[in-house]
Structure 1
Amino acid sequence: MLKIKLLSFLNKTISKIFIWLYIIFIVGFFVLSTRMHRNYFYLFLLIPFFLSTDISCIKKIKYSKIFLVTSFFCIYMFITLLWANGVSLEYSYESIRKGFLVVIFLVLTMVFFQNNWNLVPRFFRYTCFLAGVFSCITMALFYDTNQLSERITGIGTLDNPIMAGNSYALVALIAFFYFLVKKEVELRDKIKYSLVVVAAVMFVVLSQSRGPLLALAVTLICCAVVFTPKYLSWILVGFILPLMTVYFSGLVNFTSLITRADSYRISIWQQSWDIFLQQPFFGYGFGGARPEIFIAESLPASHSHNLFLATMLDGGVVALVLIVALLAISIFWSIRYFRETGDVTLLALMMFAVLGNLTDGKTPIASPNHQWLYFWLPIGLVGAYELRHRLVRQPEIAVCKAPPIQEPT
């Protein structure tokens, strides 16, 4: 009896320590350099996870369709390196390493939260508050040394306005749907989370990135209208207020957002589609040589600026089918989570994961660092719910403890 209590105490202690390590890793996107962030992942996340997690729990991830489809997608993309022209061994190694990191991050997220779903509120709470603080600090530091009209970029790994915009938009969605609109959250806490939403949305607006801003607006409005219509008024606080503040302060020239037209996106997408049609079934191989895409006459584009087109160019129709299947399964389980708990957060995050990658997405394992935050994290959380759901309803495979999902008050 004493041994069981001791083991239970140790497991709870390890879980509490690990959730803080995980929070630091996620918040690290907003402050740490890419190299520091990567080293932290290896030393303070992977090693503690594998040392503290029962191997039987990790093996159970094979029952998750989200994990299986992700694995098939990564394996297929690795295979496409065989027919990718102009790809060096060093690039092939780096591509395979990134793909494995995505799979490991997914395993880590799914297994940990499947076993410790009660820690999701803590994870969301501190991620929101810390990201809200860092957004204010970043805005102050940036405009202390730059002109007010310049597009703000993040610090740490988020050194691009679009990456930073997408990442802070994710924080705004979590604060809005997981905390702000829930009846059980006290008024004083609602005020705190409304400030987080305002700070995060203001950062998105100041990034002057129309893709993240539009994806955030569509996700907020659609999820609020369809699933939580009585809380639609909170959008006025969380979205309209930052827009009005930025507009009247003159920090952003909204006319320039319109006169920038489509930033050559339509031309880039058309060229990407035409190039895809030349080799539609299996693509050009992951990172393989292909006809160049041009923004202007002599200015090449770095990528297709669309997750689906980029995936199609790398892996053809086969890769497209796999990534669509992954997103469809994830959205299905996020809807199921909403029906079971009444919480629309995971569905909103999945909706944003799709919309946010329509205007600037790459193949999701080509540059996974920032996509871990606003693409793979939502998929990992939904996958954790899917795995819990399967383990609860199939006791013959439930080696890991997985009590029914209930939203904590």
Structure 2
Amino acid sequence: MTAFKGLRRQGEQFRDLVVRHRVAEIMFYVLIASFFLLETRLHRNLFYLFLPFFIAWLARREIWQRLGRSRLCGLVLLYLGYFWVSQFWSLGYDAEDFMNATRIFLFIVIFLAVGITLFERAPTAVAKLSMVTFVVAAVTAGMALVLFLTTSEPFHDRFEGFGRAGHPILGAHLYAAALLVVVAHLLPRAESLSLRLLYETAVVLFALVIGLSLSRGPILATALTIVVIALLRGNLWIYLSAGLLLATIPVAYAIFGLELGDLVSRGASSRPALWSAAWELIGEAPVFGHGLMAEVAFRNEAGILYRSPHNILLANLVHGGVVALALVLAIYALAFAAVLRQVRQPEVLLAGGLLLFGFLAGQTDYRLFYVNLNPEWLTFWLPLAILGRYDLAEPDTQELGSDSI
């Protein structure tokens, strides 16, 4: 008993250290920024390294009680719980699948809980995260762009960044998220002309690398999202950002001797064949789907097999059926409703922009949101964490301090 009390006391001291010195907060910023720095395995290992500190941050009953009052959190937990249960009717399900499904479930819950409590406890947390993301993304994009232009032939080779952005399509999604951080959150908060011009320069940089990725889905989704943000916010500098984005890609293509039509015709898309194959699988299990861990494959016209239908809604239908589709659409509906209620808040506008981009880009990409640490987390789970503090069913009027978290 004495040993148990000693361990408990040490655990409390460790947690106090994590909270007092904002260790978990800093680690959260590093985890997001590392999307632009680390490869998949290293990035996920970094998350594992941070887990004890995140768990220490969350080791208070009051935190979970507050999260339990959020309608959005409840719906998200229902969605995750349904997919976790769906593993049991997956064909070929085994013990390893159980461990993987449970691990991912816990990781997403921990990530969301840390994000929501962090953003609620520290009103400037979103601003700090935005600045860290902007700096890291801009520096890595600039370095990768110089390397690309000096060693590759644009439009014959596709732009690749560093870390998770080393894949052209994933890079386009990541730099689109960075662009939205600038336009939706940093620009509206900028107070000096020089800072605004710096951010507009970053818009051009991110637009250029997105265009050079030759990823049609993210390019279109980025353009549509920026236009919607401009219409919602009505800020002159955001209008300028939208204009710069829409002008940068055509101008860059003209400089390198490519027409926009060439982007459309650079290669036949496999999406229609993949979607057709997905509908065949959906017809076999329309209500509950084939289960989270079902080993499904989608064949294109060339006979190449893909693990993803490249459509987030179809992926939910394949693995979770109509039930999963209804849940994910309900999450989007509740989240977008929260955005419209608080759209004048820069952090809410950012969350809405990330969600909208993820939804639009998800019509031609993504597998599932129930995945290990992936770029999809930036366009689904992170914005939901930002919105979580605005969706408490019974919000406290007292601001949380370090002693209450």
Residue 114 of structure 1 pairs with residue 115 of structure 2: no
Give the aligned CA root-mean-square deviation in angstroms: 2.7
TM-superposition CA deviations, 1:145-185 (whole Å, max 9, x none): 43332112232123322111111101101101212245x52
**Separation (CA, whole Å) in 1 of partners of 2:56 and 2:85:** 31
Structure 1 segment 258-269 matched on structure 2, within 5 A: 258-260=264-266, 263-269=269-275
Which residue of the partner structure matches residue 391 of structure 2? 386
Give 1:268 shift.
1.8
* Equivalent residue for 1:169, pick from 176, 184, 189: 176
Give 1:43 shift.
2.2
Q: TM-score, normalised by structure 2?
A: 0.86
Which residue of the partner structure matches residue 204 of structure 1? 210
Which residue of the partner structure matches residue 71 of structure 1? 77
**Separation (CA, whole Å) in 1 of partners of 2:255 and 2:93:** 49
Residue 191 of structure 1 pairs with residue 197 of structure 2: yes
Letter in 1 for 2:157: E
Residue 159 of structure 1 pairs with residue 189 of structure 2: no
Which residue of the partner structure matches residue 141 of structure 2? 135
- What SS does the aligned partner of 1:196 have? helix
**Separation (CA, whole Å) in 1 of partners of 2:344 and 2:248:** 31
**Aligned residue pairs, count:** 385
Residue 353 of structure 1 pairs with residue 380 of structure 2: no
Which residue of the partner structure matches residue 308 of structure 2? 303
Residue 228 of structure 1 pairs with residue 266 of structure 2: no
Give 1:380 shift.
1.2
**Separation (CA, whole Å) in 2 of partners of 1:13 and 1:189:** 32
**Separation (CA, whole Å) in 2 of partners of 1:53 and 1:84:** 32
**Separation (CA, whole Å) in 2 of partners of 1:295 and 1:244:** 30
Letter in 1 for 2:220: L
- What SS does the aligned partner of 1:76 have? helix
**Separation (CA, whole Å) in 2 of partners of 1:343 and 1:327:** 14
- Structure 1 residues 367, 236: closer, same or farther in 2, change over 3 A? same
Give 1:210 shift.
0.8
TM-superposition CA deviations, 1:270-299 (whole Å, max 9, x none): 321232122101111113145x42211422
Assess if the C-alpha contact under 8 Å between 1:281 and 1:317 holds in 2: yes
* Equivalent residue for 1:250, pick from 231, 252, 256: 256
Comparing 46-55 with 25-34, greater Cα deviation is found at 46-55
Give 1:241 shift.
4.2
Which residue of the partner structure matches residue 314 of structure 1? 319
- What SS does the aligned partner of 1:386 have? coil
Give 1:378 shift.
1.2
Q: Which runs of 5+ in 2 are unaligned?
A: 1-15
- Structure 1 residues 133, 90: closer, same or farther in 2, change over 3 A? same
Assess if the C-alpha contact under 8 Å between 1:14 and 1:52 holds in 2: no
Which residue of the partner structure matches residue 89 of structure 1? 95
Which residue of the partner structure matches residue 381 of structure 2? 376
- What SS does the aligned partner of 1:140 have? helix
Letter in 2 for 1:205: G
Assess if the C-alpha contact under 8 Å between 1:109 and 1:384 holds in 2: no
**Separation (CA, whole Å) in 2 of partners of 1:352 and 1:103:** 22
Q: TM-score, normalised by structure 1?
A: 0.85
Assess if the C-alpha contact under 8 Å between 1:281 and 1:316 holds in 2: yes
TM-superposition CA deviations, 1:88-111 (whole Å, max 9, x none): 332332232122211111111111
- Structure 1 residues 341, 375: closer, same or farther in 2, change over 3 A? closer
Assess if the C-alpha contact under 8 Å between 1:176 and 1:238 holds in 2: no
**Separation (CA, whole Å) in 1 of partners of 2:219 and 2:137:** 17
- Structure 1 residues 208, 340: closer, same or farther in 2, change over 3 A? closer
Over the matched positions of the two proteins, sequence identity in percent amounts to 26
Comparing 376-385 with 246-255, greater Cα deviation is found at 246-255
Letter in 2 for 1:326: I
**Separation (CA, whole Å) in 2 of partners of 1:236 and 1:323:** 29
Comparing 298-307 with 23-32, greater Cα deviation is found at 298-307
Comparing 219-228 with 187-196, greater Cα deviation is found at 219-228
Letter in 2 for 1:35: R
- Structure 1 residues 341, 189: closer, same or farther in 2, change over 3 A? closer
Residue 328 of structure 1 pairs with residue 309 of structure 2: no
- Structure 1 residues 191, 276: closer, same or farther in 2, change over 3 A? same
Give 1:141 shift.
3.0
Which residue of the partner structure matches residue 5 of structure 1? none
Q: Which runs of 5+ in 1 are unaligned?
A: 1-8, 403-409
Give 1:11 shift.
8.7
- Structure 1 residues 187, 127: closer, same or farther in 2, change over 3 A? same
TM-superposition CA deviations, 1:231-255 (whole Å, max 9, x none): 4641355303421442233186644
TM-superposition CA deviations, 1:177-222 (whole Å, max 9, x none): 212245x521111011112211111111111111111111001112
- What SS does the aligned partner of 2:68 have? helix
**Separation (CA, whole Å) in 2 of partners of 1:262 and 1:216:** 21
**Separation (CA, whole Å) in 2 of partners of 1:216 and 1:34:** 24
Letter in 1 for 2:395: L
Comparing 230-239 with 330-339, greater Cα deviation is found at 230-239
